[in-house]
Amino acid sequence: MCLVKQRFSHTAPVPDAASTFAILFVILLLADTGVRLWLAARQIRHVAAHRGAVPDEFAARISLTSHQRAADYTVARIRLGMLERVFDAVVLVGLTLLGGLQALDLLMSQITSHELLRQLLLLVAVLLVLGLLGLPFTLYRQFRLEARFGFNRMTPELFMVDTLKGVVLSLALGLPLAAVILWLMASAGSLWWFWAWLVWSVFQLFVNFIAPVVIAPMFNKFTPLTDASLATRIRALGERCGFKVKGMFVMDGSRRSGHGNAYFTGFGRTRRIVFFDTLLNKLNADEIEAVLAHELGHFARRHIVRRHVISIALALVFFAALGWLANQPWFYVGLGVLPQLGARNDAMALILFFLVIPVFTFMFTPLASWFSRSDEFEADRYAASQTSATFLVSALVKLYDDNAATLTPDPVHSAFYDSHPPAAIRVRHLMAAA
């Protein structure tokens, strides 16, 4: 351990600090997993208890059969999520405290002695391990659970193609970014984290700019909206909302799923409105306009800009924390990794930080959910002022029904997780606005 202290400067005894950090990590991981399982159990009990009757707000428009299907779908997803959460916790412990990352790090050292290549290979190896371990859950969710409730339309061949495209895209975009950050960690001095944050911020803007015109078309087909009457209404809505529409497109979402949605994306010349083809098949023109008015409400009330600013500000905090932790030997040792002597441990610092940061921040989830629900209420009010609250309610009820969204979520589970208000409360607010 003395050799480790020669590589890093720290005043506290490494074994004591490492043990304390390891204990804290285990306590928070157990708390995280325990709370999430408790919330999931609450959701299952609450949804099952209300399975037998449609809430009064929806009784005239949603059948008992559809309500029960939504309840069963919710329970099935929650149960799978509980199993996945326990599995993820076990994998995290295996990679950290049980020495999985240490073994991968030593293996990469045997493959190559080139510093940058060794660290990039370590990053790729960890992502590959995590992807392979999570693959059974992804396959089961897509081809069993979603298929059981009539949502899956993806073929195994399309899944393989999408996966390969995702891997290639991740390598093409992620490896250069990782290489630049690793170079900054080794060469930019004590403020490397600030320059890395700048690089990450520019990278995020770049991806958001090219995503609508380069990345999204790699996975889906986008065709111009051909309904002239609907296009005219949307342009008029955009003008009222101060949103200059650059393009309106229909996405072939039905190739993969029966779920429907609409969104706007990009900025500047790449700004566009996108409709899932499944959405256009389910809603009439008035309802589509109301849904889009809600989405434009996020633009008009600057929710998206604010979220980007908050995201970039939080990234600065995280990079600053990483800049400090990367120089603390107890950070590595406490998470089951002995830093390599005479070599760079920057990739390991990145991996450890991003693996464990969710454990240390999970208690802030309800706060983020509350802010998101507040934005949704505001966007609903904006939509009601631009179109009709009645049409938005009609659209939402159809989407709840078609997407098998539960109408009776557990209040505590909803407050902790849900980015959108519960269905009954949301409809109640909209009808008050009407």
Instruction: Just list the catalytic residues.
Output: 295, 380
Which 8-state DSSP code applies to residue 339? P
Length of the chain: 434
Cα gap 71→153, rounded to integer Å: 21
115-140 vs 156-187: helix axis angle to the nearest 10? 150
Q: Give the number of other Cβ atoms within 10 Å of residue 404's Cβ.
A: 22
| Cα-only R_g, the chain | 24
Cα gap 47→53, rounded to integer Å: 11
User: Residues 125-128: contacts with CB within 8 Å, 24+ apart?
Assistant: 126/95, 126/101, 126/351, 127/170
Helix (H) or strand (E) holding 223: strand 222-224
DSSP string for 244-268: ----EEEE-GGGTBS---EEEE--G
- Of the candidates 234, 213, 216, which has an alpha carbon nearest to the alpha carbon of residue 225? 234
Cα gap 52→45, rounded to integer Å: 13
Q: Per the structure block, which two tokens stand in for 75?
A: 């329970």
User: Residues 155-161: contacts with CB within 8 Å, 24+ apart?
Assistant: 158/255, 158/256
